[in-house]
Amino acid sequence: MQLQNPAPRLRRRVLAAIAATALAALALAGCTTGSGTGPSSTSPLTIGISLSLTGDFSDSGKAAQRGYQLWADVTNKAGGVLGRKVQLTIVDDASSPDQVVTNYTNLITQKKVDIVFGPFSSLLTVPASRVVNRYGYSFIEPAGGGPSVFAQKLGNLFFVQPAPTTEGGNVFADYILSLPKNERPATAGYAKLDDPFAAPIAENIQKRFEAAGIKTVYDQTYPAETADMTPIMSGMAAANPDVVVGGSQEADAFAQMKAMIQLKFNPKWLFESNGANSPADFPAAVGAANTEGVFSSADWYADSTVAGSAKFISDYTAKFGGTAQTIDPTSAEAYSAGMLLEQVAKKTGKVDNATIIKTLHSGTWPTLVGNLSWDQYGAPKGAYLLVQWINGKLTTVYPAATAAASPVAPKPNWAG
């Protein structure tokens, strides 16, 4: 009998431990997902966001802040989300991947916000999304679209742009390959910035061009610190391709084009993955007359014809001043994050994290950046718009269904 004695004691202990763990888990669950997210609650809906208000990404961080704030204001004016006023808690992460972790942990465990939205850039979204995932929150994020974000295979993440960043140029390939064979370019040149958000965009285009028989006559990758693009572009000019594809960020895209202007090299088609889609910075950097005919891709821009865009612009300029052309697309992307939340609430009558995650995984969702839907890890399944500078304005030219004008080719000569 003695032998049997320890067993019940052990069982009691195990039971006690299980009970304690369960209690603790319940308490934790109460702290996190269960805090006042019920539909009947009239307490404010608190949303926590960490943004880069200082440091390297501060301009973009502030643009995201304006988008979030505008959405909250507009929504509150219209009565809030399910009758609950939206209350944003925005904290600064100084563009630091360490601080962003601290911030989201604090927002969730200390401030006990109901919902969190994403920070700026993939660099910060990756560490932030891990924290957010750990606490079972949904993570609607407007600015982390790099491969590293989706490689984490998180089921709670939703990137609020039409496609993963590296697929930004696919729409240009779609357009070129939609041309009849005798009108297509025969040769292509590629200048790629060695950066996870730039070179892969051009590489994806290159794969499709080469498969379709468009010969690569120049292909160069340059490091991020390359300030002077003239030597590279003089090599490009010597190879004289019909189409030039720049897998670029902003500064190097401008430098590429300035170099082409100075070298008097004008390709028939010119696509820059970034920079050329900036309505204010691009004309300022290369001269307004030199923008004519340059292609880029975009999700939202001032002349976007997407439903709700005109209202967004008028609300934005009323609140922050400026003109439609000076609105950073990041503001529209952040605003769209709020739109998604609102639509989930309207559809389900609930705004808890589990409902958001479950609901967004099916159907398509209209936003300022297009109709969004995601794969299981939050990578959007749509495509960017192909935009071109026509008569001094960014204009959607492809796909035809959303185009405001037909693409102009060959590209008009540089104004100099």
Partner 1 sequence: MHALIQAIILGILTGGVYALMASGQTLIFGIMKVVNLAQGALVVLGAYLTYTLFTQLGIDPFLSVLITTPLLFLVGVAVQWALLRPLHSDDVGQLSLLVTFAVALGVEGVLSFAYGTTLTNIQPSYANTSWTILGYQVSLVRFVAFVLSLVMLGLLYLILQRTKFGRSVRATVQNPMSAQLLGVNAQRVSAIGFGLGTATAAAAGSVFGMLNSFNPGSHYDLISRLLTIVVLGGLGSIGGSVIAALVMGVASSVVSALASPIWSDFSFFIVLLLVLLLRPRGLFGARTRGAL
Residues making contact with partner 1 (CB under 8 A): 54-59, 194, 220-223, 225-228, 230-232, 234-235, 238, 250-251, 254-255, 258, 261-264, 281, 284-287, 290, 414, 416
Q: How far is the CB of 239 from partner 1 (least distance, A)?
A: 10
In whole angstroms, give the CA distance from residue 95 to residue 101: 11
Taking the least distance from each CB to partner 1, the nearer of 183 and 225 is 225
Our CA angle for 332, 388, 414, nearest 5°, is: 130
Q: How far is the CB of 384 from partner 1 (least distance, A)?
A: 22
Indicate the residue type of 9. R
Taking the least distance from each CB to partner 1, the nearer of 201 and 340 is 201
Please, are residues 159 and 380 in contact by the beta-carbon 8 Å criterion? yes
Taking the least distance from each CB to partner 1, the nearer of 140 and 261 is 261
Provide the token pair at 335: 């605003």
Q: How far is the CB of 286 from partner 1 (least distance, A)?
A: 7
**Distance set, CA 34 to CA 52, 85, 137, 160, 292 (Å):** 29, 18, 11, 25, 54
The phi, psi pair for 111, rounded to 5°, reads -75, -20
In whole angstroms, give the CA distance from residue 243 to residue 296: 13
Q: How far is the CB of 312 from partner 1 (least distance, A)?
A: 21
**Distance set, CA 392 to CA 25, 134, 160, 277, 369 (Å):** 59, 48, 28, 12, 22
In whole angstroms, give the CA distance from residue 29 to residue 335: 29
Taking the least distance from each CB to partner 1, the nearer of 157 and 202 is 202
DSSP one-letter code for 36: S
Provide the token pair at 51: 């943004």
Q: How far is the CB of 113 from partner 1 (least distance, A)?
A: 28
Taking the least distance from each CB to partner 1, the nearer of 203 and 281 is 281
Q: How far is the CB of 287 from partner 1 (least distance, A)?
A: 6
Taking the least distance from each CB to partner 1, the nearer of 213 and 223 is 223
DSSP one-letter code for 97: H
Q: How far is the CB of 413 from partner 1 (least distance, A)?
A: 13
3-state secondary structure of 51: strand
Q: How far is the CB of 141 from partner 1 (least distance, A)?
A: 21
Taking the least distance from each CB to partner 1, the nearer of 131 and 193 is 193
Taking the least distance from each CB to partner 1, the nearer of 57 and 374 is 57
DSSP structure string for 180-227:
-GGGS-SEEEEEEESSTTTHHHHHHHHHHHHHTTPEEEEEEEE-TT--
3-state secondary structure of 19: helix
User: Is the preceding peptide bond at 142 cis, omega within 30 degrees of 0?
Assistant: no
Taking the least distance from each CB to partner 1, the nearer of 32 and 326 is 326
Q: How far is the CB of 415 from partner 1 (least distance, A)?
A: 8
